[in-house]
């Protein structure tokens, strides 16, 4: 059992490391954001985990459409729900961070509005699933919708903010990327933090689908 | 960070909370595995009866 669980412990260890190191390392002195730059380790990791979950969901939706196995539908929907969880965490942590650096909980930033729109698209996925009683039809329709929702996500979070005239986010709207300004010490915390949260997201997804498989009798 | 401001205490507290959460997650995982195993045995014994 321990053998198959190593990646879960790795995820826990990496996040624990990012909590300790993320708070203790010296960060570069920056105007406006000051010490809050440490939020990078925690806030941005949420979005990384969300992207991986929603990407996983896309893969399983396509797999479902090519084989119509209920197991794939279970994984696809579970990954969307886990992704929504991390997306909401990202939105909430981002709002707090924005309040104390940009002055407001919500600013008219293309990245923020894009994140809100894509979250809506995935909440609509949950509503859509809840509104169809017939199992096979629910699986098929939500798989097709999920592909569409992922395209929205890529456009609203990956493309439009970069094309926008101005953005408060680094790397967007003509700003320089965060990675260019990130010193080595911060990278040594940020990459493990993101990987750790991605692993924990995979763990949560696994627990979610195993529980639902037991309830629904899918194996 | 200077060590004089006792900031490390906060780090320890946060680490304990996160480790606790991780342990909880692990226990849920183990319980799920046990139920899955039981269900497998149950299905297996039902097939033998036929």
**Percentage of the residues of chain A whose pLDDT score is greater than 70:** 95
Assess contact for A98 and A106: CB atoms under 8 A: yes
Q: At residue A48, does pLDDT exceed 80?
A: yes
Cα A108 from Cα A101, distance rounded (Å): 14
* Nearest Cα residue in chain A from B8: A24
Mutate to test the interface with B, among A11, A14, A16, A89 (most CBs of B within 10 A): A16
* CA A44 to each of CA A201, B10, B11, B16, B20: distance values in angstroms, whole numbers, following the listed order: 14, 22, 20, 23, 23
- Would residue A125 count as lying in a domain? yes
Encoding tokens for residue A118? 């894509």
Q: CB–CB of A170/A181 below 8 Å? A: yes
Q: CA-CA-CA-CA torsion for A121, A127, A130, A135, nearest 10 degrees? A: -30
A27 domain-assigned: no
- The answer to whether residue A67 is domain-embedded is yes
Residue bearing the bigger pLDDT, A115 or A4: A115
**Residues A71, B18: Cα–Cα separation, whole Å:** 31
Q: Which domain holds residue A206?
A: 40-216
Question: Looking at the domain assignment, is residue A191 inside a domain?
Answer: yes
**Residue with token string 């320089």:** A176
CB-based contact (8 Å) between A26 and chain B?
A: yes
On the 0-12 / 13-18 / 19+ scale of CB atoms within 10 A, A71 is middle
* Predicted local distance difference test score (pLDDT) of residue A180: 60
Query: Does A87 reside within a domain?
Result: yes
Out of A1, A12, A207, the one facing B22 most closely (by C-beta) is: A12
Q: Which long-range contacts (CB under 8 A, 24 or more apart) does A125-131 make?
A: A125/A80, A125/A149, A126/A80, A126/A81, A126/A84, A129/A77
Task: Give me the number of domains chain A comprises.
Answer: 1
Nearest to A174 by CA among A111, A96, A117, A101: A111
Q: What is the pLDDT of residue A178?
A: 57
pLDDT digits (tens, 9 = 90+) for A24-42: 988 887 778 888 889 999 9
Q: Is residue A69 part of a domain?
A: yes
Q: Is residue A169 domain-resident?
A: yes
| pLDDT over 70 (residue A174) | no
> DSSP character for A175?
P
Within-domain flag for A10 = no
Question: Residue A26 is nearest to which of B1, B10, B19, comparing CB atoms?
Answer: B1
Give φ, ψ of A177 to 5 degrees. -70, 150
A104-161 pLDDT tens trace:
999 888 889 999 999 999 999 999 999 999 999 999 999 999 999 999 999 999 888 8
Instruction: Dig out the tokens for A132 from the structure.
Output: 């169809």
CA distance A108 to chain B (A): 33
Between these two residues, A92 and B1, which has the higher pLDDT value?
A92
In this prediction, residue A177 has a pLDDT band, given cuts at 50, 70 and 90, of low
> What whole-number distance in Å separates Cα of residue A206 and Cα of residue A211?
8
Residue A26, Cβ density class (10 Å: 0-12 exposed, 13-18 middle, ≥19 buried) = exposed
Global confidence as pTM = 0.90
Any chain A CB within 8 A of the CB of B24? no
């Amino acid at each position: 059992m321990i053998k198959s669980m190593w990646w879960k412990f790795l995820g826990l260890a990496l996040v624990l490391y990012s909590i300790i190191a993320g708070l203790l390392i010296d960060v570069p002195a920056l105007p406006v954001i000051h010490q809050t730059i440490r939020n990078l380790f925690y806030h941005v990791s949420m979005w990384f985990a969300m992207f991986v979950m929603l990407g996983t969901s896309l893969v399983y939706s396509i797999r479902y459409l090519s084989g119509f196995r209920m197991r794939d539908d279970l994984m696809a929907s579970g990954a969307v729900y886990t992704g929504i969880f991390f997306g909401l965490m990202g939105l909430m942590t981002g709002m707090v961070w924005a309040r104390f650096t940009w002055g407001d909980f919500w600013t008219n930033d293309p990245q923020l509005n894009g994140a809100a729109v894509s979250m809506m698209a995935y909440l609509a996925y949950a509503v859509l699933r809840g509104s169809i009683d017939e199992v096979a039809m629910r699986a098929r329709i939500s798989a097709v919708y999920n592909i569409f929702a992922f395209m929205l996500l890529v456009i609203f979070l990956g493309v439009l903010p970069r094309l926008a005239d101005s953005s408060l986010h680094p790397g967007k709207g003509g700003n320089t990327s965060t990675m260019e300004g990130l010193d080595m010490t911060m990278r040594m915390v940020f990459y493990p933090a993101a990987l750790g949260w991605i692993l924990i997201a995979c763990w949560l997804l696994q627990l979610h689908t195993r529980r639902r498989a037991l309830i629904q009798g899918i194996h | 960070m200077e060590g004089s401001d006792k900031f490390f205490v906060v780090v320890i507290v946060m680490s304990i909370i996160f480790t606790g959460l991780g342990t909880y997650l692990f226990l849920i995982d183990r319980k799920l595995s046990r139920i899955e195993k039981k269900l497998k045995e149950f299905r297996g014994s039902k097939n033998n009866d036929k």
